[in-house]
Amino acid sequence: EQPEKIPGYTYGTGEAAVSPLTLEDLEHLKAVVGLTRQDEQVLTEAARVLADQADDMVSAYRKRLGELPFMHAYSGHPDGTPNPEYGAASKPRFDRFIIDACTRPLDQDWLNYQHEIGLRHTRIKKNSTDHADSLDHIPMRYLLAFTAVVIATARDYLAADGAPAEQVDRMHAAFTKSVMLHVTVWTRPYVAAADW
Amino acid sequence: EQPEKIPGYTYGTGEAAVSPLTLEDLEHLKAVVGLTRQDEQVLTEAARVLADQADDMVSAYRKRLGELPFMHAYSGHPDGTPNPEYGAASKPRFDRFIIDACTRPLDQDWLNYQHEIGLRHTRIKKNSTDHADSLDHIPMRYLLAFTAVVIATARDYLAADGAPAEQVDRMHAAFTKSVMLHVTVWTRPYVAAADW
Ligand code: HEM
Ligand code: HEM
C-alpha cells in the first residue's frame, strides 16, 4: 500500500504531533539501545524479508490479544464487544509500522510520528484518528509487555526467506533494538518529563 | 554466591517493598507477554546455561554503559566520575537477577521484590541500599532502551553450552518474555496508576 494513501497516517506531515524530544535525545537513546550503522544496514535487509509478511504479523499479534478477554475493550467497544471497523481502520497503519521500523531514517519526522503513535495509545489521542468507540487509553504496562511478543515472534518471520542463521541473528538483534527504541519513545506521553 | 549473603538483597523478606499489584494483575501481564508453562520450564534450562555467566553478562552491560559518558552520573558520582564502591556493592544483586529471572516462582515475593528493584532505579530508593553518592534517578527511557541490549546479547550466552539452535531459540524467546515482564513491572513507580 502506498503510505500516503493510508487514512490517518500522517508521517512526515504537519498533521503529526511535534515531538518534545531533540535529535540529541534521540542520539542518546540510539546509543543506549546499541543501534549501530551496521544494524541500520541490516534493518534494510530485514525490511525485504518482512515486507510481504507485515500484514500477517499484525494479524497474528491481534489474534494473540483477541485470546485475552481483559484486552478486548481496548481494541473493541468499551464493553469488550468487537469493533471491526476500528480494527480495519487502524490495521494498515500498524502494518506500515513494521516496514517503517526497518527503513525510516531516524530524523525529526521520525521523532514526530513516534510521538504521534505514543499519543494514539493514550487518552490524549486514542480513538480520535478513526473516530472509534473504544476505551480511551491503553495502559502502559500492556504496551511494554506486548513488546515481548513482537520481539520473540519476529525471529520466525525473519527466517522465512531461508537466510543463514547468522544473518537471522543479525536481523533479529537489529529488529529488537529498533522495536525497543520505538516503544521507548512511545512511552513519553505516559510519564512526567522529569521521570522519563 | 548464597543469595541470603548478598548485602541489600531483600528478596522474600519483610524488608522488601510491598507491591501495589495483585496476583491477578500479574496473571494478566504474564498472559500479555505470552509466558507459558513451557517457557517457565525452558527458563530453568536457561538458568543452568547462564549460572556461570551472570557475572560476565552484567560486566558486559556495565562496560557498554561505561562507553556512554552521558550515562556515567547514574552509576558513578553525580559529576560522572567513577564510583567503584557503588558498582561493587550493587553488582552481586544484579548478577543474582539473571538467575532469579529464570528460576523464581511468580508469586507475591516476586511481585514485592520486582517493585523494590523498580523503586531502586528511581528517586524513591536509588542509592539508599548502598548509601551511594550518585544521581538519584535513572530516567525510565534508559531503563527501557537498555532492555534491548539485555535481550539481544542474551542469545550468545544462551548458546554458549552448544545447545541445538531450536533449543537456543526456545530459551531466547522465554528469556525475552521474562526480561520484558520484569522490566514492565519495574516501571510501575515511574507512572501514575491510572496511566500505567
Ligand atoms: C509493542 C506493542 C505494540 C506495538 C508495536 C503497537 C503498534 C501500533 C501501531 C504502529 C499503531 C498505529 C499507529 C498509527 O499510525 O496510527 C497502533 C495503534 C493501535 N494500537 Fe498498538 N501497538 C502495541 C501495543 C498495543 C496493545 C497492547 C494494544 C492493546 C489492545 C494496542 C492497541 C492499539 C490500538 C487500539 C490502536 C489504534 C489507536 C488509535 O485509536 O489511533 N497496541 N499500535
Ligand atoms: C534492562 C535494563 C536493566 C536491568 C535488567 C537492570 C537491572 C538491575 C538490577 C537487577 C539491579 C539490582 C537491584 C537490587 O536488587 O538492588 C539494578 C540496580 C541498579 N541499576 Fe539497573 N538495570 C537496568 C537498567 C539500568 C540502567 C540503564 C542503568 C543506568 C546506569 C542502571 C543502573 C543501576 C544502578 C545504579 C543500580 C543500583 C541501584 C541502587 O542504588 O540500589 N540500570 N539494576
**Interval B134-177: pLDDT, tens:** 999 999 999 999 999 999 999 999 999 999 999 999 999 999 99
What confidence score (pLDDT) does residue A94 get? Answer: 98
Q: Does A120 touch chain B (CB under 8 A)?
A: no
Q: For ligand 2, what atom is nearest to the CA of residue B94?
A: 10
d(CA A15, CA A46): 29
| Ligand 2 pocket, residues with Cβ under 6 angstroms | B 8-9, 65, 71, 74-75, 90, 93-94, 97, 117, 120-121, 126-127, 129-130, 132, 138, 142-143, 146-147, 150, 183
**Fold of the A23-190 domain:** Globin-like (1.10.490)
| Backbone torsions φ then ψ of B69, nearest 5 degrees | -55, -35
| Mean pLDDT, rounded, for A65-86 | 98
Q: What is the DSSP track for chain B?
A: --GGGSTT--TTSTTSPPPS--HHHHHHHHHHHT--HHHHHHHHHHHHHHGGGHHHHHHHHHHHHHT-GGGHHHHS-TTS---HHHHHHHHHHHHHHHHHHHH--SSHHHHHHHHHHHHHTSTTTTTTTTT--S-S---HHHHHHHHHHHHHHHHHHHHTT---HHHHHHHHHHHHHHHHHHHHHHTGGGS-TTT-
Q: Which amino acid is at A41?
A: Q
pLDDT digits (tens, 9 = 90+) for A153-176: 999 999 999 999 999 999 999 999
Q: Which three cell numbers stand for residue A168?
A: 537471522
pLDDT digits (tens, 9 = 90+) for A1-24: 577 799 999 999 999 999 999 999
What confidence score (pLDDT) does residue A1 get? Answer: 59
**Fold of the B19-190 domain:** Globin-like (1.10.490)
Best B106, B144, B153 member to test A by mutation, with max A CBs in 10 Å, is B144
Q: How many residues does chain A have?
A: 196
pLDDT band at A28 (very low <50, low <70, confident <90, very high): very high
Percentage of chain B with pLDDT > 70?
A: 99
Q: Does B106 touch chain A (CB under 8 A)?
A: no
What confidence score (pLDDT) does residue A2 get? Answer: 75
CA trace torsion A54, A58, A59, A64 (10° rounding): 140
Question: Hey, are the CB atoms on B34 and A64 less than 8 Å from each other?
Answer: yes
What is the ipTM metric for this complex?
0.97
What confidence score (pLDDT) does residue B1 get? Answer: 58
Give residue A114 CA to ligand 2 midpoint distance, Å.
Answer: 26
Q: Does B27 touch chain A (CB under 8 A)?
A: no
